């Protein structure tokens, strides 16, 4: 077992490097999303619940809905049998 401690330490070191890199990527994505959300209202993007007059008049929009369709709860469906 003492001969394997080098491999154990290397595995822990590699895992630490990967987790730190992943954490930094998540922090960077979070800051990018915060920057976009700060810029969104001033750049003319629609926020949830806001619609233009053409969308209220019944014209189709090419933008996907923000909320989407909620999934039904599994117990609310009838069984298949």
Give residue 23's pLDDT.
Answer: 97
pLDDT on residue 57: 52
Nearest-angstrom CA–CA distance, 52 and 60 = 11
Mark out the alpha helices in the chain (DSSP H runs): 5-39, 53-56
pLDDT top residue among 80 and 60: 80
Burial class (CB in 10 A: 0-12, 13-18, 19+), 9: exposed
pLDDT in tens, 7-51: 999 999 999 999 999 999 999 999 999 988 888 665 455 555 555
Cα 31-71-59 angle, rounded to 5 deg: 75
The single residue listed with the structure tokens 């330490």 is: 9
- Which two tokens mark 22? 């992943």
Q: Is the pLDDT of residue 60 over 90?
A: no
């Amino acid at each position: 077992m003492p001969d394997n401690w080098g491999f154990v330490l290397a595995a822990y070191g590699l895992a630490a490097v990967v987790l730190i890199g992943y954490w930094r990527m998540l922090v960077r994505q979070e800051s990018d999303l915060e920057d976009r959300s700060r810029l969104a209202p001033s750049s003319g993007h629609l926020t949830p619940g806001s619609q233009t007059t053409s969308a209220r008049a019944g014209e189709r929009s090419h933008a996907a809905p923000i909320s989407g369709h909620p999934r039904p709860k599994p117990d609310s469906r009838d069984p298949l049998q």
